[in-house]
Amino acid sequence: MAEEKGLNFIEEIVEEDLKNGKYQQIITRFPPEPNGYLHIGHASSICLNFGLTEKYGGYTNLRFDDTNPVTEETEYVESIKEDVKWLGFTWKNELYASDYFDTLYGFAVDLVKKGLAYIDDSSSEEIARLKGTPTEPGSNSPYRNRSVEENLDLFERMKNGEFKDGSKTLRAKIDMAHSNMLMRDPVLYRIKHAHHHRTGNKWCIYPMYDFAHGQSDSIEEVTHSLCTLEFVPHRELYNWLIEKLEIYPSRQYEFARRNLTYTITSKRKLLQLVNEKYVNGWDDPRMTTISGMRRRGFTPASIRDFASRIGVAKRENLVSMSLLEHCVREDLNRIAIRRMAVLDPVKLIITNYPNGQTEEVLSENNPEAEDNGGTRPVIFSGELWIEKEDFMETPAKKWFRLAPGALVRLKSAYIIKCEGYNKDSNGNITEIHCTYLPESKSGNDVSGIRTKGTIHWVSAAHAAKAEVRLYDRLFSVEDPAAEEKDFLEYVNPGSLQVIPEAYIEADLGNAKPGDRYQFIRKGYFIADNDSTPQHLIFNRTVTLKDTWAKESRK
């Protein structure tokens, strides 16, 4: 809990502002650009923005930063709304920067009238050339001293579509020698004859980020505008525009972007993975998009918990994927019901179990659940499937599972003893033969024998079949974006393993998409969106233990 950890630096600012009576309520916004699906980095920002107003009172707007007509799509808007809701947050207003195009145009006219903005006919190359460098001042554009009347006339004609793309811009008139390059007469408006997903063909001039973002904040009277560190140099312009326009004084605060090991948190790169078919769409369970994680079986609570544990930082760093997995394990351990599933089956015959007999044994649904989960009947018979890896022909030291002559317990059922096995001509084990101890039934064990190993099983005649998809990290290096070669070179070729036919407990045949289970000893699983009773599909969310920690010790 944040309270126990003390306040983060943004909470400190907010508490100070409330104590001083600067604000009666806190207003924040989450401002995604609808040019892709949200990822785990955005989840941090969502939890921060919504978390603040939940904690201190006030509200959060969802504002689509849709000022670039070329890359934005309605599909993305819908997915973003779904993701924020799924994470468990409710926005006060659904807003679009494009709703403010008229107001923003008015603000621009105001600046022109104040002599604080001008129309420049220079090409973008020319503007860049005159910009100077961080160590040398820039030079004034030859169009910088146009009269207010001429600027007003040209700006209106820009809006009316008289000029071609790139032929003119509206620029703030600040200082071409300013130490902050962003203050050297930044471009506020550009011409783009493009269709916009909401305003259609109404506009052919579009405001730049710096002239839309802060102004939108002011229009909504956002008190604390939270953004990532790359906007630190923009703050000066943010404040300049608010001051000169004499609009509501929103304040910008910056925090560090959150990046995770073994994955990518950039919409542009995630889009590349989708377009170039490294993954099967934005919601591929290997993607750390919110929709991918949802399909993979992550819970909203686990993602919120993760965001709260990593908190807010002032400096960028890589957060370990293991922490995210730890969070989901902890949540699923409480809520996922236990079932048995055999992923890599070999037949086990109990030679002294009466032919054709079946019985029900009781197995716990979830001993970790608050209500203890209760039990379920599982059908037991003399022909079972068990995992191949639970048998060793020549057992290693400290092998407590099945081996010739060894005793092991079948989960919730009997102790068995391995009496023999068959192999095919390639040396593969095809069948294991055991006897069982009738007096060793779980819950009523009078055998006096204690076994060290317990293995899971399903009855061969009663098991349902399912496709099971096992996922590994999507990249084989910790920080693919920081490597020498293109990040695509580091995609892990083994990130998806499909088991076409696993055997699962019969009642899993009723699993509906989104149902979560712990397959005993195998990990946490969720029924995939495409799963049907005719073709069951389960995705492994995460293994039961952290297999990565082991690997990094190698």
Which residues are designated catalytic?
33, 257, 267
CA distance 503 to 532: 16
Q: How far apart are the first and last CA of the chain?
A: 34
Measured from the Cβ of residue 319, the count of other Cβ atoms closer than 10 Å reads 19
Q: Applying CB under 5 A, which residues contact Mg ion?
A: 33
Confirm or reject binding of residue 320 to ligand ATP (CB under 6 A): no
Comparison of 258 and 456: residue with beta carbon closer to ligand ATP: 258
How far does CA 19 lie from the centroid of its chain? 35
Kindly tell me which residue out of 180, 228, 320, 333 binds ligand ATP, with binding defined by CB under 6 A. Answer: 228
Nearer to ligand ATP, 310 or 468 (CB): 310
Find which of Mg ion, ligand ATP, none residue 42 binds, CB within 5 to 8 Å per kind. ligand ATP
When CB distances are held under 5 to 8 angstroms depending on the partner's kind, the choice from Mg ion, ligand ATP, none that residue 300 binds is: none
d(CA 447, CA 271): 60
The C-alpha atoms of residue 297 and residue 67 are separated, in whole angstroms, by 34
> Judged by CB under 6 A, which stretch of 36-44, 185-193, 464-472, 509-517 contacts ligand ATP?
36-44
- 258 binding ligand ATP? (CB under 6 A): yes
> Residue 266 or residue 447: which is nearer to ligand ATP going by CB?
266
The one among 53, 151, 216, 265 contacting ligand ATP by CB under 6 A: 265
Instruction: Candidates 8, 28, 45, 252: give the one binding ligand ATP (CB under 6 A).
Output: 45
Burial class of 125 by CB neighbour count within 10 A (0 to 12, 13 to 18, 19+): exposed
Using CB under 6 A, pick the residue from 227, 332, 466, 470 that binds ligand ATP.
227
Q: Which one of ligand ATP, Mg ion, none interacts with residue 261, CB within 5 to 8 A by kind?
A: none
- Classify 543 in phi/psi space as left (phi over 0), alpha (psi -120 to 50) or beta: beta
**Smallest gap, in angstroms, from Cβ of residue 258 to ligand ATP?**
4
Closest residue by Cα to residue 340 from 517, 212, 129, 480: 517
Query: Residue 253: left (phi > 0), alpha (psi -120 to 50), or beta?
Result: beta
Asked if 100 and 196 count as a contact pair (C-beta separation under 8 A), the reply is no
Contact 174, 185 (CB under 8 A): yes
- Which of the listed partners (ligand ATP, Mg ion, none) does 103 bind, with a CB threshold of 5 to 8 Å by partner kind? none
The binder of ligand ATP chosen from 257, 433, 465, 473 (CB under 6 A)? 257
- Provide φ and ψ at 112, rounded to 5°: -60, -45
Are the CB atoms for 116 and 148 separated by under 8 Å?
no
User: d(Cα 88, Cα 301) in Å, to the nearest integer?
Assistant: 8
Tell the smallest beta-carbon distance from residue 209 to Mg ion (Å).
8
Shortest Cβ distance from residue 259 to ligand ATP (Å)?
6
Report the nearest approach of ligand ATP to the CB of residue 183 (Å). Answer: 21
Nearer to ligand ATP, 258 or 338 (CB): 258
Q: Residue from 33, 121, 368, 478 that binds ligand ATP (CB under 6 A)? A: 33
Provide the minimum distance between the beta carbon of 234 and ligand ATP in the complex, in angstroms, as a whole number.
12
Q: Which is nearer to ligand ATP, 258 or 295 (CB)?
A: 258
For the bound state, the minimum distance from the C-beta of residue 69 to ligand ATP, rounded and expressed in Å, comes to 16
Paired tokens of 178: 């300013």
Of 283 and 528, the one with the shorter C-beta distance to ligand ATP is 283
Interacting residue with ligand ATP among 103, 139, 180, 266 (CB under 6 A): 266
User: What secondary structure does DSSP assign to 164-222, as a single string?
Assistant: -TTS-EEEE-S-TT-SSGGGSS-EEEEE----BTTTBTS-SEEE-HHHHHHHHHHHTT-
Q: What is the 3-state secondary structure (H, E, C) of 382-434?
A: CEEEEEHHHECCCCCCCCCCECCCCEEEECCCCEEEEEEEEECCCCCEEEEEE
- Give the Cβ contact number of residue 43 at 10 Å: 26
> Which span (39-47, 359-367, 442-450, 530-538) binds ligand ATP, by CB under 6 A?
39-47
Q: What amino acid is encoded at 120 in this protein?
A: D
- Closer residue to ligand ATP, CB minimum distance, 256 or 460: 256
Rank residues 68 and 531 by Cβ distance to ligand ATP and give the closer one.
68
What minimum distance in Å lies between the beta carbon of 65 and Mg ion? Answer: 7
Residue 169 contacts ligand ATP per CB under 6 A:
no
Q: With CB under 6 A as the contact rule, which of the stretches 255-263, 281-289, 370-378, 483-491 interacts with ligand ATP?
A: 255-263
**Segment lying near ligand ATP (by CB under 6 A), choices 69-77, 254-262, 282-290, 415-423:** 254-262
Strand partners, 170: 119, 189
173 versus 267: smaller Cβ distance to Mg ion: 267
Q: Which one of residues 26, 27, 42, 385 is an interface residue with ligand ATP (CB under 6 A)?
A: 42
Number of neighbours of residue 243 by Cβ within 10 angstroms: 10
State in angstroms the smallest separation of the CB of 192 from ligand ATP.
Answer: 19
CA 294, 297, 300, 302 dihedral sign is: negative
Binding partner selected for residue 435 from Mg ion, ligand ATP, none, CB under the kind-specific 5 to 8 Å limit? none
Side-chain-facing half-sphere of 285: CA atoms under 13 Å: 26
Q: Which stretch binds ligand ATP (CB under 6 A): 13-21, 116-124, 180-188, 261-269?
A: 261-269
Nearest to 148 by CA among 106, 111, 186: 111
CB atoms within 10 A of CB 286: 25
Residue nearest to ligand ATP (CB): 41
Interface contacts to ligand ATP, rule CB under 6 A: 31-33, 41-42, 44-45, 227-228, 257-259, 265-267
